[in-house]
């Protein structure tokens, strides 16, 4: 209820009517099809929603995040950096978060193009990011192994 009132107040302040904002739970068979119909997904703060972000992106929905200072507040920023590469979706301040959301609302053609691109390329981007992360981890482990002294020393 506290968050609902806070979000309602935010929507009133920025003239977003009640029908323009949906609150979804991550359950049920209607979840992913419902996501696909959204224009924008807003990441939570101060704990970002990594799985929700991946779900939204898989359905072509752009996600806007406010990157915090703790790792738990930067998950979505990391995902967006790896999979989307659009810095306009990652805000550094509360004002920047608001501005990024409103800019994406106002940029209909850009938002629709981003939706189509995400929907068409999400799985390939995800596979490439996983391969890059695995290769980076392997390089790191090999470097640590090479730097470690042998049994005699």
Question: What confidence tier does 152 reach under pLDDT thresholds 50, 70, 90?
Answer: low
Q: What is the tens place of the pLDDT at every residue in 114-131?
A: 999 998 888 888 888 888
Strands 90-91 and 41-42: unpaired
Q: Residue 131 is encoded by which pair of tokens?
A: 């391969």
- Residue 131: C-alpha distances to residues 32, 71, 82, 138 (Å): 25, 22, 12, 11
C-alpha dihedral sign at 113, 28, 74, 10: positive
The rounded distance, in Å, linking the Cα atoms of 144 and 134 is 15
**26: pLDDT strictly greater than 70:** no
* Whole-number pLDDT of residue 5: 83
Q: Select from 6, 76, 9 the least CA-distant residue to 44.
A: 76
Prediction pTM value: 0.72
The rounded distance, in Å, linking the Cα atoms of 84 and 87 is 9
């Amino acid at each position: 209820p506290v968050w609902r009132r806070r979000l309602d107040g935010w929507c009133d302040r920025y003239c977003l009517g009640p029908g323009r904002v949906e609150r979804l739970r991550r359950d049920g068979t209607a979840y992913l099809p419902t996501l696909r119909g959204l224009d924008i997904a807003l990441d939570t703060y101060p704990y970002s929603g990594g799985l929700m972000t991946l779900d939204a992106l898989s359905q072509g929905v752009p996600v806007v995040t406010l990157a915090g200072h703790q790792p738990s507040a930067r998950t979505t920023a990391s995902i967006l950096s790896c999979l989307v590469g659009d810095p306009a979706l990652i805000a550094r301040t509360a004002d920047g978060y608001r501005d990024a959301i409103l800019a994406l609302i106002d940029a209909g053609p850009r938002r629709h193009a981003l939706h189509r691109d995400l929907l068409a390329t999400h799985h390939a981007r995800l596979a490439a990011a996983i391969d890059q992360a695995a290769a980076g981890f392997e390089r790191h482990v090999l470097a640590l192994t090479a730097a470690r002294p042998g049994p005699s020393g």
